[in-house]
Amino acid sequence: MHNSTAGTPHVTGTCNETLSTPPPSSEFSLGVLVLLAFLMVLLALVTILGNVLVILAFIMDRNLRHRSNYYFLNLAISDFAVGALCMPLYIPYSLTGKWHLGRDVCKLWLVMDYLMCTASVFNIVLISYDRFLSVTKAVSYRAQQGITSSPVIKMVAIWVFAFLLYCPAILFWEHVAGHSVVAVDQCHAEFFHNWYFLLCTSTLEFFVPLVSVTYFNVHIFHNIQRRQRHGSAQDCEAPKGSSLSWRLCLLPRPGGSSSEAEESVSSSTRPKKESLVTENSSPSQGNSVTPENDFSASFCARARSKLQQDKKIAKSLAIIVCVFAICWAPYTLLMIIRGACQGTCVHNSVYEISFWLLWTNSSLNPFLYSLCHVKFRMAFMKILCPKKFATLRLGSF
């Protein structure tokens, strides 16, 4: 990528491309360059430390090792690599305007840069899809909780697809074209001005993922709305004395979807024997505490808890969609426009800001995904504040 804000030539691909601009000293003073370097290093450190915390939490806390959290781990690994490998190699290049590490290291860096950024996006889609299934198809989702091969296959597929999208072009473009358009002291992808290629890859890397996560979020929102109107949360308001209140909790109102019924049934375990109060029972029995009433209260509490949990999932996904769009849309659109006009119609500083905004997504992901997860928050506290964590545990007993 390039650092137009510093007025230098640079690179970028999925994350990087090149423009030639005047030397840094012609536009910025030494103090400004030091400030830019500090901000770049700070972003890299935040990205590294945030994602390391997620990885350590997953390793140290066995309670986090279930199906959906493996996708958080996969995302943290890709984002960690962005901060640990992509950013540090780019910073000196962006400030000096020259690549001093040779063509082979340049190719390796480009592959890592494109691969990690693309894998991060695909992991976001996978996490959103997993949330979508957990809310709308709870029974089948829980039935697969013990199947470890399914998430592993999906995680591996993420990396394979991310590699195939850009990396073969990075490695072999110049061999197919018969020549290279990259200067010896520069490092950028050979296709950085190929408008058609950039449009196709950007569609798969940004536009399709954005539409997908938006669809998942909207569908979850509508599912929760239907359940609020017709589902178990309202049915559980039946009179406590009613012997059939627990049955109303299990059955959705007319017009409710089958998935709503599955949600209601799956939220609690049915008793082995479902006894009913007979019509001949005395009135006093209707107000007494019976196993049926106990089950009704317990079930309804679980149903309301599940609904509240799904609401939190919907809110977190809404934030994810917005942040993802804000971080990626400017860069993607400017990259396509700049490729179409051969880099003459987009100011370097604007493009550079859009690029760093894209990388910022990798530093925000640990907070967007993991800090919204109660178990991850507890794991973070256990790592960072063990004394406070021990105090909270003692207080809970």
For residue 354 the two structure tokens come to: 């859009």
pLDDT at 16 over 80: no
Q: Tokens for 397?
A: 């007993």
**Each residue's pLDDT tens digit, 373-394:** 777 888 888 888 877 776 766 6
User: Residue 250 pLDDT > 50, yes or no?
Assistant: no
Per-residue pLDDT tens digits for 299-354: 666 666 666 766 776 677 678 788 889 999 999 998 888 878 876 787 777 887 88
Cα 10 from Cα 97, distance rounded (Å): 6
Distance, CA of 155 to CA of 157 (rounded, Å): 5
Q: What is the mean pLDDT of residues 359-369?
A: 88
Q: What is the mean pLDDT of residues 347-366?
A: 86
The yes-or-no verdict on residue 282 having pLDDT over 90 is no
Burial (Cβ within 10 Å: 0-12, 13-18, ≥19) of residue 195 = middle
Domains of the chain are 4-222+320-396 (1.20.1070.10)
pLDDT digits (tens, 9 = 90+) for 176-220: 888 888 888 888 889 988 888 999 999 999 999 999 998 988 888
pTM > 0.85:
no
**Whole-number mean pLDDT of the chain?**
75
Residue of 290 and 338 predicted with greater confidence: 338
pLDDT digits 0-9 by tens, 69-104: 888 899 999 999 999 999 999 988 888 888 989 999
Dihedral of CA 202/91/25/104: which sign?
A: negative
Distances (CA, A) of 115 to 29, 96, 112, 122: 34, 25, 5, 11
pLDDT-derived band at 221, boundaries 50, 70, 90? confident
Angle, in degrees to the nearest 10, between helices 67-81 and 102-136: 160
DSSP string, 178-206: SS--S-TT----TTTT-HHHHHHHHIIII
**Confidence bin at 172 (pLDDT 50/70/90):** very high
Q: How confident is the model at residue 20 (pLDDT cuts 50, 70, 90)?
A: very low
pLDDT computed for residue 84 by the predictor? 94
Torsion of CA 204, 372, 44, 201, to 10 degrees: 0
Rounded CA Rg of the chain: 27
